[in-house]
Structure 1
Amino acid sequence: MLNIPLLLIKIGLLAYLLLPLNLWAANYENKLIDPKATKETKALYRNLRKLSKKHILFGHQHATEYGHGWAGEPDRSDIKSVTGSHPAVIGVDFSGLSGRPPEAIEKTKELLRKQIADTYDRGGVTTVAWHFSNPVSKGGFYWVDTVSVAAVPHLVPGGSHHEQYKQILRTLGDLANSVKGKDGKPVPMLFRPYHEFDGGWFWWGKPHCKQEDFVSLWRFTVSYLRDSLQVHNFIYAFSPDCLFNTEAEFLERYPGDEWVDMVGMDNYADFGRNGRYNVSAGIRKLKIVSDYAQKAGKLAAFTETGLESIPDTTWWTNTLLKALKAEKMRLAYVLVWRNDTRSATHYYAPYPGQASVPDFIQFYKDPYTWFETGLPKLYR
């Protein structure tokens, strides 16, 4: 005869014994890939995960370096001029750290240190793009037919330019380890190398290297920075463009969960570029990113988007905000691209007098979106 009370006791005991294993597995998934990450970097990662359940941080590329019609003014951004607050996330670029004379590189380091440290001291977040000039050929970071060389296989271990690549990474590592806040701590950064790799416009893009070479390059980059150069203030972000329709396609060049902290997507095409909108497709792709992050214990983000010149004056609330709120996704931040200081049309965020300012104010006031002024202490 079945002893029901005894069976229930046994089931309860088994569940109790398994609980620590389940908790351990969850904690393992939610850890950074760098076991030696600084306390501040771990805190940022943990707090971004927590905030993404109910909020999203708004970001703008090069926001405090320059804007529409100005450059190099302290504590200024077009977003602050419109709302009273800087963006919560500010994008910088490591593009100037290679392929130039040493004195130019040192000057770039100095400017980057100040930008990144100032953002940290105010309580904001820095995300780093890397428009990396081709170290094997001319052509810059873009792929230029008849000029560019498919460089990725030359940079991986055993490649002809591998030692040169290590030297470039040492320059990045030196900068990362030398950026300190007023508290003397190394500043955490969201490092997003080799973005939009599923397209062909960059030399590291899909048409110009094999999948295994791209994965090898990614893994070596992380390993060399983290393990050899002792950079422990990076959160590593993997972000293709929007040329995928399934999780399998999104993960086609994924280097593995042990090599990535954050997954994201750059998507201008579905959100109004050249007057074409396919917002439902954009939402579906964002959901693939968000769902994978939750399944794998990673952060997720909308790493780049925007509408150049913002001709749609209600784009912020009717397109972007609606998309971000759809499907109950968990996204740590959304970043729009830069406002060029000289161009009359190349801008992605409003500035005083721009036609979308009233709508952007509504976007700013929405409880879901967070800007720098309202942030909690992310590094504790």
Structure 2
Amino acid sequence: MNRSTLYTHFIKFLPAILLIMLSTIASCSSDDDPQADTDDDKVETVTLHLADAAATNETKALYSNLWAIQKTGFMFGHHDDLIYGRDWYTTAGGSDVKEVCGDYPAVFSVDFAEIMDDRSETSDLNDDRKRTILEARKRGEVITACAHLNNPLTGGDSWDNSDNTVVKKILEDGSETNIKFKSWLDKLSTFVLDLKDDNGNTIPIIFRPFHEHTQTWSWWGKSCTSQDEFIGLWKFTVDYLKGKGVHNLIYAISPQLDGPSTKDAFLFRYPGDDYVDFLGFDSYHGTYTESLSTNLKNLEEISAEKLKPCGVTETGIEGILKDGAEYEEYWTKEILTPLIGRDISLVVMWRNKYDPNHGGHHFFGPYIGHSSKNDFVDFYKSSITLFSKDLPDMYTMAENVTVE
């Protein structure tokens, strides 16, 4: 073949040769250069599971956001913040947190006990509990509830641990205590099913029954119950509420861990992944910040292992004191610092008791008269602390999260 013929064939097949070369280069670039991956390849998706397979769409959406928001920061919460404060009582729009920083807490914590037990007919706050839950939901905030229930056997309060047969009798079908306890759950069912948002959908609640079960003081605690009894009580409660058509609860466990602990200690009497949705702990560690840091690390690891969102469900120092004096830098040093870099969805402070004469110091959250208020404003301004105005739509499904 002469040179002229070779040139003619080369020109004829040049487009094909160039196409092969470009394809080879593109293939090598894609294989060798990790930056060539598409954004879709980098997106992490996750599937979460609720204890209640029939949970409402809004409940599933909230749950998805509790998981997703852990990568953004942590929501700040305060118990009873919308119902009363240090110097006010049942004032519409009231909030000690808002008075200090100009924004409501992202998480509103309430107590369901007086809605459920023998105080339900006499409590002066149940209407306000409902009102404030509706207000919090209207602003897009998250609601969580504990239950300091009276002892259904003895008639004493939550801290009456004088009879270690109470849970055994709750679980004895047809017993007087069993019937009474079920009537309390019936009242809870009626209450939570009546909580509706502006679209008529039931409002999701993070419900943590039998909190601090690792301690001895409550009638459901470790001094009054065996492991099987406590787990049986938990499962009975969840199953009964689901059986009553309650599908807007996210079930949270919250052992009390004041000192540095272990993962095994957190899982003390754990009812099982099929009955627990949210992993929390109550921490009254004072200024022992290393203890909080250790327990946060363990909680974060368990959360990742079990694919369940997590948070600090109660904490604080009564009076916000250090060595007997007001602790002016409490918020940034004791709460913010140990949470930096942690995948934790929420931190909830215990209540500020109504005490207009300031006769005591039973308060755990900020209020305008405490010298830590300026530090709280700095805490509020942090990029990882989330308050009401910072929240995404917590009741629409988070991206890349599926809930079953």
Q: Match for residue 171 of structure 2?
A: 156
Structure 1 residue runs of 4 or more that deviate by more than 6 Å after TM superposition: none
Check conservation: 1:153, 1:159, Cα contact below 8 A: no
Check conservation: 1:57, 1:89, Cα contact below 8 A: yes
- Quote the Cα distance in structure 2 between the aligned partners of 1:133 and 1:103: 14
- Quote the Cα distance in structure 2 between the aligned partners of 1:157 and 1:248: 30
- Quote the Cα distance in structure 1 between the aligned partners of 2:196 and 2:125: 16
- Quote the Cα distance in structure 1 between the aligned partners of 2:53 and 2:246: 11
Length-normalised TM-score, structure 2: 0.81
- Quote the Cα distance in structure 2 between the aligned partners of 1:26 and 1:119: 28
Q: Match for residue 41 of structure 1?
A: 59
- Quote the Cα distance in structure 1 between the aligned partners of 2:350 and 2:238: 25
Determine if the alignment matches structure 1 residue 247 to structure 2 residue 263: yes
Q: Match for residue 49 of structure 2?
A: 31
Q: Match for residue 349 of structure 2?
A: 336
Q: Match for residue 96 of structure 2?
A: 78
Write out per-residue CA displacement over residues 95-140 of structure 1, whole angstroms, 9 at most, x where no aligned residue: 20244366336x6543322121111011111110100100101320
Write out per-residue CA displacement over residues 199-218 of structure 1, whole angstroms, 9 at most, x where no aligned residue: 11111111111000000000
Length-normalised TM-score, structure 1: 0.86
CA displacement at 1:50 relative to structure 2: 0.7
Check conservation: 1:109, 1:175, Cα contact below 8 A: no
Q: Match for residue 361 of structure 1?
A: 377
User: How many residues matched?
Assistant: 343
Check conservation: 2:161, 2:224, Cα contact below 8 A: no
> Matched residues, percent identical?
36
The 1:297/1:289 distance shift into structure 2, 3 A limit, reads same
Q: Match for residue 312 of structure 2?
A: 302
Task: Read off the aligned partner of 1:339 and give its amino acid letter.
Answer: N
Q: Match for residue 198 of structure 1?
A: 214
- Quote the Cα distance in structure 2 between the aligned partners of 1:231 and 1:157: 23
Larger radius of gyration: 2
Q: What runs of 5+ residues in structure 2 fail to find an aligned partner?
A: 1-44, 321-325, 397-404
Matches within 5 A, 1:13-24: none
- Quote the Cα distance in structure 2 between the aligned partners of 1:113 and 1:153: 32
- Quote the Cα distance in structure 2 between the aligned partners of 1:32 and 1:307: 33
User: SS of the residue aligned with 2:122?
Assistant: helix
CA displacement at 1:258 relative to structure 2: 0.4
- Quote the Cα distance in structure 1 between the aligned partners of 2:80 and 2:210: 18
Check conservation: 2:137, 2:197, Cα contact below 8 A: yes
Check conservation: 1:141, 1:202, Cα contact below 8 A: yes
Cα RMSD between the aligned structures?
A: 1.9
The 1:331/1:184 distance shift into structure 2, 3 A limit, reads same
Determine if the alignment matches structure 1 residue 56 to structure 2 residue 74: yes
CA displacement at 1:43 relative to structure 2: 0.9
The 1:357/1:109 distance shift into structure 2, 3 A limit, reads closer
- Quote the Cα distance in structure 1 between the aligned partners of 2:387 and 2:155: 39
- Quote the Cα distance in structure 2 between the aligned partners of 1:126 and 1:339: 17
The 1:98/1:49 distance shift into structure 2, 3 A limit, reads closer
- Quote the Cα distance in structure 1 between the aligned partners of 2:125 and 2:381: 35
Give the one of 177, 184, 189 matched to 1:168.
Answer: 184
- Quote the Cα distance in structure 2 between the aligned partners of 1:312 and 1:258: 42
CA displacement at 1:286 relative to structure 2: 1.8
- Quote the Cα distance in structure 2 between the aligned partners of 1:159 and 1:322: 51
Higher helix share: 1
Q: Match for residue 15 of structure 1?
A: none
Give the one of 107, 110, 115 matched to 1:92.
Answer: 110
User: SS of the residue aligned with 1:153?
Assistant: helix
Determine if the alignment matches structure 1 residue 180 to structure 2 residue 193: no
Determine if the alignment matches structure 1 residue 322 to structure 2 residue 337: yes
- Quote the Cα distance in structure 2 between the aligned partners of 1:157 and 1:144: 19
- Quote the Cα distance in structure 2 between the aligned partners of 1:361 and 1:81: 11
- Quote the Cα distance in structure 2 between the aligned partners of 1:307 and 1:159: 43
